[in-house]
């Protein structure tokens, strides 16, 4: 049974309750939260959006231009996107375990919010996958960051693509070129585990 969060501005309370009385019973659980102050708005988002599968915002036309209503709309949209990324991350973990069913798995990744999500960590535990977060502000430990820079240098720097299809085509050509030479990828993206004193010297003038 789906959980439906009914969010409403305080002045629309009677209207929303009238609507709620006409909603079908037995197909969903409805949670009502009105907000009169900023604190009420935050509470509505934290409790309602996190606990619900459907988000419904009731507001008068005049209130749609208010900061509070727009803030809640933007927050709901952001959480929807976050939920999709979180679900995709869980699916990736399941695919990893399916491909390697009998070996220990250690996943090293950054501290993105969807990597730290409770649902993601719970699924990883169920699948017997150990998660190891990288320290904050350490892109040098994440080879994919260097890959993105490489992609930008070859595809997007100093180049304006006429269409989205043109950008997609050039990115695909970049991928195909790299896949033809795995050794070049390893050489360029190898994580540095030592420092060359000469290379690390800071330039200075006398």
One pLDDT digit (tens) per residue for the chain, 206 residues: 555 655 555 556 676 667 667 766 655 555 555 555 555 555 655 565 555 556 666 655 655 666 666 766 676 677 777 778 888 999 999 999 999 999 999 998 888 888 988 889 999 999 999 999 988 777 777 778 888 889 999 999 888 888 888 999 999 999 999 999 888 888 888 766 666 777 666 655 44
Within a domain: residue 132?
Answer: yes
- Cβ pair 115, 89 in contact under 8 A: yes
The total number of structural domains that make up the chain: 3
The reply to whether 127 and 154 lie within a common domain is no
CA–CA separation, 67 and 59 (whole Å): 13
CA–CA separation, 164 and 170 (whole Å): 10
The reply to whether 109 and 90 lie within a common domain is yes
Q: State the pTM of this model.
A: 0.50
- Nearest CA to 34 out of 80, 74, 72, 65 is that of 72
- Paired tokens of 106: 């250690």
Q: Which range of residues forms the domain containing residue 130?
A: 85-137
Q: Give the residue from 12, 30, 65 where a domain finishes.
A: 65
- Nearest CA to 30 out of 46, 6, 1, 7 is that of 6
Within a domain: residue 197?
Answer: no
- What is the SS3 string spanning 123-148? HHHHHCEEEEECCCCCHHHCHHHHHH
The reply to whether 59 and 9 lie within a common domain is yes
Within a domain: residue 195?
Answer: no
The reply to whether 39 and 50 lie within a common domain is yes
The reply to whether 98 and 120 lie within a common domain is yes
Within a domain: residue 42?
Answer: yes
Q: Give the residue from 65, 96, 120 where a domain finishes.
A: 65
Within a domain: residue 200?
Answer: no
CA–CA separation, 124 and 46 (whole Å): 25
Within a domain: residue 144?
Answer: yes
Within a domain: residue 13?
Answer: yes
The reply to whether 96 and 144 lie within a common domain is no
The reply to whether 162 and 108 lie within a common domain is no
Within a domain: residue 76?
Answer: no
């Amino acid at each position: 049974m789906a959980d439906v969060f009914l969010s409403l501005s305080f002045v629309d309370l009677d209207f929303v309750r009238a609507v709620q009385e006409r909603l079908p019973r037995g197909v969903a659980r409805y949670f009502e939260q009105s907000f009169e102050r900023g604190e009420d708005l935050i509470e509505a988002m934290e409790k309602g959006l996190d606990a619900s599968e459907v988000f419904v915002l009731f507001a008068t036309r005049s209130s749609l231009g208010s900061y509070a209503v727009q803030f809640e709309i933007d927050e709901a949209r952001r959480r929807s996107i976050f939920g999709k990324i979180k679900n995709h991350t869980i699916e990736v973990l399941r695919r990893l375990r399916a491909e390697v069913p009998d070996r220990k798995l250690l996943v090293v990744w950054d501290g993105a919010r969807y990597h730290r999500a409770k649902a993601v960590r719970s699924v990883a535990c169920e699948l017997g996958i150990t998660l190891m977060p990288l320290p904050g502000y350490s892109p040098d430990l994440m080879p994919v960051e260097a890959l993105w820079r490489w992609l930008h240098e070859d595809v997007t720097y100093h180049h304006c693509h006429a269409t989205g299809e043109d950008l997609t085509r050039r990115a695909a050509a970049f991928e195909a070129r790299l896949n033809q030479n795995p050794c070049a990828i390893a050489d360029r993206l190898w994580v540095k585990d030592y420092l060359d004193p000469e290379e690390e010297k800071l330039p200075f003038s006398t």
